[in-house]
Structure 1
Amino acid sequence: MKKINLNELYDLMYEHLDPNGWWPGRSDWHVIWSTILIQNTNWKNVDKALATLYQATNFWPENILNLSDNKLEKAIASAGFFTRKAATLKRLATYFQKYEFDLDRCRQLSKEQLRPELLSIKGIGPETADVILMYGIQKGEFVVDTYARRLFDCLACPLPSSYQKAKELVEANVDHFTLRNYQNFHAMIVMFNQKYKLPKEFKTTFLNNYQLIITK
């Protein structure tokens, strides 16, 4: 069993997978709204909801705020939990209103400021906040999702149960990760899980003979 660190794991995965352009989205706003719609559903349903949301709002946050609750709920109905998700979309749009819907202005701020602000919005948890930061606002974050936990378990390196502790542990153990590295790592972890249906088929993968070592 060969022991590897996180940067070596990243390099191994990059040799076998192509993460470029993984997160679907025609614009930054497209990506941001999709992080809400994907909760507790699949991309097939989300794509339908995004298509009707685009027709109704052009993905512009001010248009989302101006849309009636009923029309917004109908637009995203295919994503499920549409009443809750519509309310979250409006709360998130209201949040960006204080920055005049200017994502470049948000990008000038630190993630240490932005992340707590996003987490204060009802309906947005740590995972969703980190995906918004990474893909919508372009801040490097490690996303501790189910896919990451499954992969780390298979590599005999289970993550702490606390989302924040797991996130901090990983981020403290990667060396010189850029925004693109974080985006690629997240994409490759999801792709690897989907391709090999972890943990069921892990022993058939190119990572089977490796053990991940993280400094506690």
Structure 2
Amino acid sequence: MFNKLYPILLEYYPMKKWWPGTSPLEIAVGTILTQNTSWKGVEKSIFALKEAGKMEIRAILELSDDELAELIRPSGFARLKTQRLKNLLNFIRENYGTVEEMKFAPKDSLRKELLSVNGVGRETADSILLYALEKSSFVIDAYTRRVLGRHGILDENLPYDELQAA
């Protein structure tokens, strides 16, 4: 269904860059930081990481948990997100080296790999695929569910994978 809907929407709403990150790494970091919070807090956290000169995989991983938690505190759940962010960045470093290198991996296998990372769920994995890696993926977030449900297109309570497959 989304494959039919997309060209219609694209005709009326030209393609725009949606995710405000300036690099694939910043976008990947943002996908963790935006979990269960508003974008305003994420912006503050990303700004703090940049101001501290830490917006690099190596630099973030070299921070102590306390140091990283302090920098990302505006995003909320700082301790939890510290671990999730380090899990994701360790995965990237160990398997690809950089976020940019992930672009060469097949989408389906990459999604499975991302989902194996503690703290990366379906919405986060699909956001990384779409926004950081520019791979086609339909992100099912709370807003998508609400729009689909309110317009009677699909039952907003369907499981993520069923909504995505529709």
TM-score, length basis structure 1: 0.70
Say yes or no: does 1:163 pair with 2:166. Answer: no
Per-residue deviation at 1:77? Answer: 0.5
Unaligned runs of 5+ in 2: none
Say yes or no: does 1:142 pair with 2:138. Answer: yes
Counterpart secondary structure, 2:6: helix
2:96/2:102 contact within 8 Å kept:
no
Change (3 A) 1:100 1:127: closer
State the distance in 1 between where 2:53 and 2:80 align: 18
1:35/1:131 contact within 8 Å kept:
yes
Deviations 1:59-97 (A, max 9, x none): 111111101111000000011000000111101110011
Per-residue deviation at 1:17? Answer: 4.1
State the distance in 2 between where 1:68 and 1:78 align: 17
Q: What corresponds to 2:84 in structure 1?
A: 88
Say yes or no: does 1:123 pair with 2:119. Answer: yes
Q: What corresponds to 1:39 in structure 2?
A: 35
Alignment: residue pair count: 165
Select between 94-103 and 125-134 the one with higher mean Cα deviation. 94-103
Select between 7-16 and 64-73 the one with higher mean Cα deviation. 7-16
Letter in 1 for 2:61: L
Q: Which has the larger radius of gyration?
A: 1
State the distance in 2 between where 1:47 and 1:70 align: 20
Task: Report percent identity of matched pairs.
Answer: 35
Counterpart secondary structure, 1:22: coil
Counterpart secondary structure, 2:117: coil
Q: 1:66 aligns with which of 62, 67, 71?
A: 62
State the distance in 2 between where 1:11 and 1:134 align: 17
| Cα-Cα RMSD | 2.0
State the distance in 1 between where 2:5 and 2:138 align: 14
Unaligned runs of 5+ in 1: 170-216
Q: What corresponds to 1:193 in structure 2?
A: none
Change (3 A) 1:154 1:19: farther
State the distance in 2 between where 1:42 and 1:117 align: 27
Counterpart secondary structure, 2:118: coil
